[in-house]
Amino acid sequence: MRKKTIFCIVKFYLPGSNAGGPIRSISNLVNNLNDQFDFSILTLARDAKEKRNYPSIKINKWNNLYNSKIFYIDYKINFYFAILKSIIKKRDSILYLNSFFSINFTLIPLLISIIFGTNKNIIIATRGELSSGALGIKKIKKRLYILFFNILTNFKTIRYQATSNQEKNEIFKEINAKKELIYIAPNYLSNKKIISKSYSRLESNNLRLIYLSRITPKKNLLFALEILRKIKYNVDFDIYGIIDDSSYWLKCKNLMENMPSNINISYKGSLKHELVEETFRLYDLFFFPTLGENFGHVIPESLSQGTAVLTSDRVPWKRIERFDCIWLYNLEDRSKFIKKLNSFAKMGNSQFESIRRNCISCSEKIYDQKKLNNKYKNLFNF
């Protein structure tokens, strides 16, 4: 029996890593389901925040890479014609769009499908872009976009992918879509083999904290810095991530330069995905007070290496709080963040190692591939 083709459009993809979660979401999906579906992917020929194209790829042609066929496009080389050409070629496939607020990679493909009558079956993964935290950034532009989108999609029946009940409700609130057209299919985790078996903690007199995410207002690094000003113990705070918003980073840098002497902060730059797990293993706690995530790949990645997580209550991981290795607090209650960080700073190695065991135990239990496979088969079943 011939496999269905999933034609995935995503702004950035492998071998890139700077764009974070969406790349991992798609690559994990392809790696888990390529035996059941054929995946074709349209993406830019370069990584986020990079000017040069990837070496050794063919532009505006199909490349057989990463268990899929990938069509790399360049803004400077017949960009819109290349999108049109690839969509018409894949006119009978399931069109899988991996952003909501993207003119070039969502809106234009939708317009092409409407005008040329291609791709009867369309899925949009909103990737957390309709959360209240995300909508609060550039609010007027996003409201106008949603208004136009709702008018446009009156002409097309579209399915939506949510990764949690929370995201399903956010989509239903903002988009003219019936609830039965919003499917819940959480993202695949990275390979289970990465789960650490080491519970030991590196000796240190300081609390070692890590922030690993893009540097944008949505990820809320500034909040983390403001909280750290209130911590009375010695802390080493290392920041990893590509700078997506230079004006926001300037605000962060200004605060970093005026921290108390007990808080030592280092910006480590962006981190290749293959180094993420071994880097998390070096730290006591992942501090990630995000304004909203539809999944947050970095959270299970951190836990898989025995590194506990302190985050906001705007992530879909409340169900694992019972493992005592992740804490989800309301951003309006700063005292809880301060109290938790101070308590961590006072811990001895035996307490840290107990929490590391909780993290690894949690990681082993939240991985249910068979159940997830069925959710995606349902999503792609037209």
Alpha helices in the chain (DSSP H): 21-33, 79-89, 108-116, 132-135, 139-152, 165-174, 221-228, 246-256, 276-280, 298-304, 334-345, 349-365, 369-379
Q: Report residue 109 as tokens.
A: 């493909």
Are 271 and 246 in contact, with CB atoms under 8 Å apart? no
All domains of the chain in start order, with CATH? 4-189+368-379 (3.40.50.2000), 192-365 (3.40.50.2000)
Cα–Cα distance measured from residue 176 to residue 130, given in angstroms and rounded to the nearest whole number: 13
Cα–Cα distance measured from residue 299 to residue 133, given in angstroms and rounded to the nearest whole number: 18
225-262 confidence digits (pLDDT tens): 999 999 999 999 999 999 999 999 999 999 999 999 99
Residue 250: is it exposed, middle or buried by C-beta count within 10 angstroms (0-12/13-18/19+)? exposed
Q: Which residue has the tokens 């694992």?
A: 320
Q: Give pTM, 2 decimals.
A: 0.83
**Got the DSSP string for 161-201?**
EESSHHHHHHHHHHSS--GGGEEE-PPPPSPGGG-------
Residue 169: is it exposed, middle or buried by C-beta count within 10 angstroms (0-12/13-18/19+)? middle
pLDDT (tens place) for every residue of the chain, 382 residues total: 689 999 999 999 999 988 878 898 999 999 999 999 999 999 999 999 899 999 989 999 999 999 999 999 998 888 999 999 999 999 999 999 999 999 999 999 999 999 999 999 999 999 999 988 889 989 999 999 999 999 998 878 899 999 989 999 999 999 989 999 999 999 988 765 667 777 677 767 899 999 999 999 999 999 999 999 999 999 999 999 999 999 999 999 999 999 999 999 999 999 988 899 899 999 999 999 999 998 888 999 999 999 999 999 999 899 899 999 999 999 999 999 999 999 999 998 889 999 999 999 998 887 677 888 999 999 999 9
Cα–Cα distance measured from residue 15 to residue 253, given in angstroms and rounded to the nearest whole number: 30
